[in-house]
Structure 1
Amino acid sequence: MSHSPLLEKTVKLLHEANMQAPVLDLACGSGRNGLYLLNQNIPVVFADIKESALEQVESTVNCHNGEEKSTASFWQVDFEQDSFEQEELKPLAGKSFSAIIVFRYLHRPLFEQIKQAVIPGGYVVYETFTVEQPQFGRPKNPNFLLNHGELAKLFSDWDIIYSFEGVIDAKNADANNESGKQAIAQIIARKPLL
């Protein structure tokens, strides 16, 4: 599975920003999106709850000789801890990233942490399914589906560089999705400078 085309719009922005902090690939799974950034000479922290997923990504990184090894790091973390009420249970507290990328993952209690962990002038790149998705396949649980306009509203206080909400033809569609269509929302947003 290849990286999301949304990242191609982001690489130039990240290079132009010339930021010192790495990019966080939150809930990275197979790492396809973070690996794309790594290949564009952008430092990435791959984060996921599954140790096996992180080991697979690390193995992929190690197969490529070169500078990528030194600019990749791995973080096993549970982003869905029961309570974010206590500061020490907030996984992103006290962390700083030049950008946070999130693909095909939604845990609403994390949004405020994500916004706080991006440095001023940094970016959020987010893409996941909307409430229209069940007609095409999984996921069907409303907890994992964005409402209409939800993503744009969440980042309305940021500079929205790109926003899309609708149905796309997905090349790598889920095997249970015979139509090849997916209902998604996407955003690239820049955090205002202080």
Structure 2
Amino acid sequence: MQMIPPSPWVERHIGSISQGGQVLDLACGSGRHTRLLAGSGFSVLAVDRDAAALGGLQGVAGVRTVQLDLEGEQWPLAGQSFAGIVVTNYLWRPRLPDLLALLAPGGALIYETFMIGNAAYGKPSSPDFLLHSGELREVARAAGLREIAFEEGYTASPKPAMRQAICAVRD
């Protein structure tokens, strides 16, 4: 199976995360960003509900994996703090405020996922899993984060999709 390369958005903004703190790769899947972060010298907590996907990260230096249900009644990461949070291709609105509360002072959020209009290009197509225009910007602002960069709209790579992305910092 060919490894999907890291998102150019994540690669471009990884420098916003301060060295020395732990980084959360939420819903990390096969770990393309976990590997990028660990290779850049970060200590990474890679979280996903898929144990098989996490298995591929065993033995990667600087990486700790935890299988968690991120959509249950209990928020399994409550009380933790991270220098950086990376999320791609995942959206669970009920936990967005809880997720952003995990960001330490000076911490950076790098978030990229699908938005309304993506149904024309495939999955996800349910509005439950598609951001509204400007939604990440609004959520970050409500959490007291300072926006570094924001993009939304059509992308052709790695496949045609409608996406939205933000890099924001907690001052």
Would you say same fold, with TM above 0.5?
Answer: yes
TM-score w.r.t. the length of structure 1 is 0.82
Q: Contact 1:49/1:78 (CA < 8 Å) preserved in 2?
A: yes
Aligned to 2:151: 164
Structure 2 unaligned blocks of 5 or more: none
CA shift for structure 1 position 72: 1.0
Q: Distance in 1 between matches of 2:129 and 2:155?
A: 18
Q: Alpha carbon RMSD of aligned pairs, Å?
A: 1.2
Aligned to 1:28: 28
2:13 is equivalent to residue 10 of structure 1: yes
Structure having the higher helix fraction is 1
* Percent of aligned positions that are identical: 33
Deviations, residues 143-193 of structure 1 (Å, cap 9, x unaligned): 11001111111012311001001101113x2xxxxxxx110000000012x
Name the aligned partner's letter for residue 75 of structure 2: K
Q: Distance in 2 between matches of 1:134 and 1:13?
A: 31
Name the aligned partner's letter for residue 127 of structure 1: E
Q: Distance in 2 between matches of 1:127 and 1:101?
A: 8
Aligned to 1:111: 96
Deviations, residues 79-104 of structure 1 (Å, cap 9, x unaligned): 000x2xxxxx2212111111111000
Structure 1 unaligned blocks of 5 or more: 62-68, 84-88, 174-180
Name the aligned partner's letter for residue 120 of structure 1: P
Aligned to 2:109: 124
Q: Distance in 2 between matches of 1:113 and 1:142?
A: 21
Q: Distance in 1 between matches of 2:25 and 2:44?
A: 7
Aligned to 2:126: 141
Deviations, residues 38-66 of structure 1 (Å, cap 9, x unaligned): 1111111110011111101225x2xxxxx
Aligned to 2:87: 102
Describe the SS at the equivalent of 1:9. Answer: helix
2:65 is equivalent to residue 74 of structure 1: yes
Name the aligned partner's letter for residue 8 of structure 1: E
CA shift for structure 1 position 110: 1.3
Q: Distance in 2 between matches of 1:125 and 1:185?
A: 11
CA shift for structure 1 position 9: 2.2
Name the aligned partner's letter for residue 2 of structure 1: P
Structure having the higher strand fraction is 2
